[in-house]
Amino acid sequence: KAASKEEIEQLIEDYASAAENAIVAGFDGVEIHGANGYLLDQFLHYDTNLRDDEFGQTPENMARFPLAVIDAIIERIGGHRTGLRLSP
């Protein structure tokens, strides 16, 4: 089942909250795993992203959710503490 827009907004908040929790716990930063079939990776591929809304069909739309996640994390903990792992 495709995530609803409300679920996507909650997922973005969950990623940002988890990153903040990592910093509070004493970690220097976080690396988000956006490869190997993980959620962010699924949005970036035509074979797994079958959405027909603003999160699918074009490369720009397919990147919208992963970029929103990273933007939310950077806003919460700073860009110097945020990494993203992608793989073809």
- Other Cβ atoms closer than 10 A to 82: 19
Q: Is 15 tagged catalytic?
A: no
Which are the contacts of 41, defined by CB distance < 8 A and separation ≥ 6?
A: 34, 35, 48, 86, 87
Distance between CA atoms of residues 37 and 66, nearest Å: 13
Q: Which of 7, 14, 31, 38 is catalytic?
A: 38
Residues that are catalytic: 38
